[in-house]
Chains A and B, each alone.
Chain A
C-alpha cells in the first residue's frame, strides 16, 4: 500500500481546518481564554474544570465529532489527517474542550467490532462526549497493566489519569477478565461510579481518577469482549499518539509566533531583541523542530488510512518529535519573553502548562524512542534476512 503524496489533505479538509481556525480565533482569542481558565492562581487550588459549553456546542454543530466516525456509523468518514488538523487547531487555541478525549474514544471504538461500539459511534457523531478510562495508577499508558477488573458482571477497581473526565458523558473502561482485556462503556452517572477530579498543572484541561465500586455491566455495554480489548487499543494507539502530537504542534506554533511577535516589538539596547542571534537562532531552531514534528504528524495520520502496518512506527516518531517540541517551545517562550513571561498575567504559561501535560501524555519522547528502537531493529533484521 502507498500513501498519497499530499497526505490526503484535500479541499474539503482545508475548508474544515480553516473554518475551525476562524471559529476559535473569533470565539476564544487569548484575551478570552485567560479569564476563562486562569481564575485561581493559588498553587494549592482545588481541582477545577473551566470550559465554554456553548462554544463546544458550536464545535459539534460544525461537525468536528463526526470527522473520524465512519459513514455507516453516522459520521463523515473523513481521512485521519482531517482529525489531526482539527487537533492542531485545538492546540493552537489551547482549547479547553472534550474534543481530544472524544476523538481518542472514537479511534478506539473504530477498532471494536461490536454493535455497542457502533451505537456509541452514532451517539458521538451526534455530540455525545466520551473519554478513555484505561490507565493504571502506575501511569503505564500502553501496556496491558490495569487496575480495573470485570468479575461476575461487575466492575471493581479504578482507572487513573482519565483525560477531560469532567466534560465526558461516557467512559470507555479497560478491564481485566480471566479471558483477557475487555472494553466496556459506562455512563459517568452510573451507580457505583465515583469520579475524583485531580488537581492538575494544566489549566486548559481537566483530569480525574475514577473508582468503580461493583458497577454492574450488561451485554449492551460490552464494546470489546474479554480477549479482544487489548488488540482494539493497540490498533487505535497510533491514532491516539498522533492526535496529541498534533495538539502539541498547534500549541507550539502559537508559542513560536507569539514569541516572535514579542521579539519584533520589545526593544533593548536600542534594538528589537529579535536582532540578537541569542534570540533569533533559538526561535529558528524551534521552527525547524516544529516543522519536522508537524510533517511527521501528517505522515502518521496518512499512514493510518493508507499504510496501517507502518502506522505505529510513524506515530511514535510523530509523538517523540512532538514531545521534544512541547518541551522546547514551552521553555524558549518563557525565557525569551523575559520577566513578563514569568508572570501569571502573560498567557504564555497557559500554553507552557498545556505543553508540559502534552509532553508526558501517552509517553514522552524517551519512551517512544525506546519502543521505536525495538520496532526498527526488528524491522531491519527481517529485511537483512530477506536479502541473504
Chain B
C-alpha cells in the first residue's frame, strides 16, 4: 500500500510535499564512518556528530517535533510527525540520534513539565544541541521498576541525588537525563519523584559514567553513579511523590503506545541493506547456497520466511488499523502490542537470516567473507536489547493481559 492516499488532511498534504521537496533538495553527505544499526549503539564521536548534524538540519526544516507547540520549539502542527517520519524513511535517511530524548523525555516534559523544561530544554533537545538519556533501571529495579533506590533528598531549596542507574544508553554523550528517584522510603509507588538532571557538566565530579560492553562487543550503554549531585527544584517534573505516574507517560511512549508520535527516520547499517525486514529474506535465501541449490528452493525455509512476512505485514496493517477507531475494540489494545510484536519479529527475522546463510553464518563482522558484512548476526545479537529493554516482553504481556483483558494483576 502506498501511504500517500486521498485521506491526508489539507495540512498533511501540504506538509508532505514540503518534506519531499526539502529532502530532495538537501541530500546528506556520505557518513565519514560506518554507522551503527541504531542510536543506542552509537560508540564514536564521529558517528554522533554526523548524525547530530542530520537531526539539526531536519529540525530546522520542520521535520522534527512538528506536532509540538511552537512555545516548546515545535512546529505547532496537527498529526504531521507521522508524515515527516514516512518521508524521511522513504528518502532513506539515517536514524535520528537523540532517540531517548525524542521518544521519552520530550513527550513527558511536554505533558508534565514546567515552563523551563518545555521552553528551554525542549528546543535544544529537538535540535540535538543536548543529548538525552534515561535513568530508570537500577541493579535492583529491572522488571520491578518501582523498586528504584536512587535517593533524592531535600537540600536547601533544591535536591541532592545519590544512587546507581544502569543500562543507560547514550549516557557517555548525554547532557541531560530523565531520572526516577526515591523521595520516600516508606511508600513504594507513591514514594518516587521524577527529575531532569544534568550529566555532562558534572562528569567526574558528582556524576560518574562507566561504559558497559554488550554481548555484541559494542559499547553504547552505561552505568551512571550519582554521589550527591545538587539540582534546583525547578528540575523536578510533576509533584513530589508522583514520579510513578509521570513515568507511565515515558513508558507508554517508549513502548510506542503514547499519544505523541516519536520523530524517527531510517535504519542504521549499510544503507542498501533493509536489516530486519522480512521481505529481504527472500533475496537472502536466493543468494544463500544450500546443498547443491539455494535456500530459496527449500520448502521448509520458504514456509518459515513467509510466516515472518505475514507477521510483519500483519503488524504493519495493525498500525494502520489502530488509526481507525471503529475497528479497535479497546483503544490501547494494538498500541500496547507494538513493542512486543516489532522486537520479536526483528529477532526472528535475524535468526532466520542466520539459518539461511548456513555455514557462512559462522563468520562474524571481522571476516571479509561474512555475508552482508555480518550485519544479520550483529542484528540478531542486538535484537535482545529490544526484547529486554523498556520492560521485558514478559512484563509487556503482563500489562496487555491486565490492562486489555482485565486479568488479575501480578503485583
Which residues from A are CB-within-8-Å of B299? 370, 373
Q: CB within 8 Å of B: which of A254-270? A: 256, 260, 263-264
A287 touches B317 (CB 8 A): no
In the complex, per-residue mask of B391-411: 1 if CB is within 8 Å of any chain A CB, else 0: 000100110111011111110
Residues of A within 8 A of B4 (CB): 2
Contact A295 B282 (CB under 8 A): no
Chain A contact residues, majority secondary structure:
helix
Contact yes or no, B397 A299, CB < 8 A: no
Is B302 touching A272 in the complex (CB atoms < 8 A)? no
**Interface size class for chain B?**
35 or more
A190 lies within 8 A of chain B by Cβ? no
Q: How far is the CA of A295 from the CA of B1 in the complex (A)?
A: 13
Are A292 and B314 in contact, with the CB atoms below 8 A? yes
Q: Are A7 and B327 in touch, CB under 8 angstroms?
A: yes
Q: Report which of A4, A272, A372 forms a contact with B407, defined as CB distance below 8 A.
A: A272
Determine how close the nearest CB of chain B comes to the CB of A9; give it in whole angstroms.
6
Q: Mark A1-14 against chain B: 1 for CB-CB distance below 8 A, else 0.
A: 01111110100011
Say whether, besides A291-B334, A377-B282, A298 and B327 are in contact (CB < 8 Å).
yes
Instruction: Pick the interface stretch among B18-26, B188-196, B303-311.
Output: B303-311
Task: Name the distance in Å between B6's Cβ and chain A's nearest Cβ.
Answer: 7
B407 touches A264 (CB 8 A): yes
Residue of A nearest to B302 (CB): A373
* Prevailing SS type, chain B contact patch: helix
CA–CA, A256 and B401, complex, Å: 11
Asked, given contacts A3-B5, A9-B327, A370-B299, whether A287 binds B333 with beta carbons under 8 Å apart, the answer is yes
Measured CA separation A55–B86 after assembly (Å)? 47
Q: Of A38-46, A273-281, A338-346, A353-361, which stretch is located at the interface?
A: A273-281
Are B306 and A376 neighbours in the complex by a CB distance under 8 Å? yes
B326 at the interface (CB under 8 A from A): yes
Q: Nearest Cβ in chain B — how far from A314, in angstroms?
A: 8
With contacts A5-B7, A369-B310 taken as known, whether A283 is within 8 angstroms of B405 at the C-beta atoms is: yes
Is A288 on the interface with B (CB-CB < 8 A)?
yes
B397 adjacent to A376 (CB under 8 Å): no
Q: In the complex, which residues 1-37 of chain A have their Cβ closer than 8 Å to any Cβ of chain B?
A: 2-7, 9, 13-14, 17
A291 to B328 CA separation, bound complex (whole angstroms): 9
Minimal Cβ-Cβ distance residue in A for B313? A317
Chain B 312-348 near chain A by CB (<8 Å), digits 1 or 0? 0111011011011011010001100100110000000
Instruction: Tell me the nearest residue of chain B to A85, going by C-beta.
Output: B327
Given that A274-B405, A287-B404, A298-B321 are known contacts, is A373 also in contact with B314, CB under 8 Å in the complex? no
The smallest C-beta distance from B310 to any residue of chain A, in angstroms, reads 5
Complex partner residue of B306 from A280, A287, A372, CB under 8 angstroms: A372
A307 at the binding interface (Cβ < 8 Å)? yes
Asked whether, in the complex, the Cβ of B320 is within 8 Å of the Cβ of A295, the reply is yes
Q: A321–B282 contact, CB under 8 A? A: no
Q: Which of A237-259 contact B (CB under 8 A)?
A: 253, 256
Number of A-B contacts (CB under 8 A): 157
Total count of chain A residues near the partner, CB < 8 A: 50
Q: Which of B1, B7, B303 has the most CB of A within 10 A?
A: B1
B252 located at the interface, meaning its Cβ lies under 8 Å from any Cβ of chain A in the complex: no
Q: Is A366 an interface residue (CB 8 A)?
A: yes
Min CB distance, A317 to chain B, in Å? 5
Judge whether B397 and A380 touch: CB under 8 Å: no
Taken together as a complex, chains A and B put the C-alpha atoms of A253 and B341 apart, in Å, by 19
B246 CB within 8 Å of chain A: no
User: How many Å lie between the Cα of A280 and that of B327 in the bound state?
Assistant: 24
- Which residues in window 184-234 of A have CB below 8 A to B? none
Chain A contacts with B in 290-333, Cβ cutoff 8 A: 291-296, 298-299, 307, 314, 317, 320-321
Beta-carbon contact of A260 and B405 below 8 Å: yes
The answer to whether B310 and A295 touch across the interface, beta carbons within 8 angstroms, is: no
A384 pairs with B283, CB closer than 8 A: yes
B279 lies within 8 A of chain A by Cβ = yes
A137 at interface, CB cutoff 8 A = no
Measured in the bound complex, the distance between the Cα atoms of B394 and A287 in whole Å is 15
User: Is there an interface contact between B311 and A292, defined as CB atoms closer than 8 Å?
Assistant: yes
What is the minimal beta-carbon distance from B319 to any residue of chain A, in angstroms? 8
> Does the CB pair B317–A295 fall under 8 Å?
yes
Q: Are B324 and A376 in contact (CB under 8 A)?
A: no
**Is A140 among interface residues, defined by CB-CB distance under 8 A?**
no
CA of A200 to CA of B77, assembled, Å: 58
Check B310 against A274 for contact (C-beta < 8 Å): no
Q: Report chain A residues within 8 Å CB of B1.
A: 2-3, 299, 307
Residue of B nearest to A299 (CB): B317
Residues of A with C-beta under 8 A to B407: 260, 263-264, 272, 274-275, 279-280, 283
Note all chain A residues with C-beta closer than 8 A to B305: 373
Contact assessment for B324 and A296 in the assembled complex, using a CB-CB cutoff below 8 Å: no
A377-B321 contact given A4-B5, A288-B341, A370-B302, CB 8 Å threshold: no
| With known contacts A277-B397, A321-B310, A369-B306, A294–B296 Cβ distance under 8 A | no
Q: Does A284 contact B (CB under 8 A)?
A: yes
Complex A-B: 23 CB contacts under 8 Å? A3-B1, A7-B321, A7-B327, A9-B326, A263-B405, A264-B408, A272-B407, A272-B408, A279-B407, A284-B397, A288-B341, A291-B321, A292-B311, A292-B317, A295-B314, A295-B315, A296-B310, A317-B309, A317-B314, A370-B302, A370-B303, A372-B306, A377-B286
Interface pairs A-B: 9 shortest CB-CB: A292-B314, A274-B407, A295-B317, A275-B408, A373-B302, A280-B401, A272-B408, A369-B306, A295-B318
List 13 extra interface pairs beyond A263-B405, A287-B337, A288-B400, CB under 8 A: A4-B7, A5-B320, A260-B405, A277-B398, A280-B401, A280-B407, A292-B314, A294-B327, A298-B317, A307-B1, A372-B309, A373-B305, A376-B282
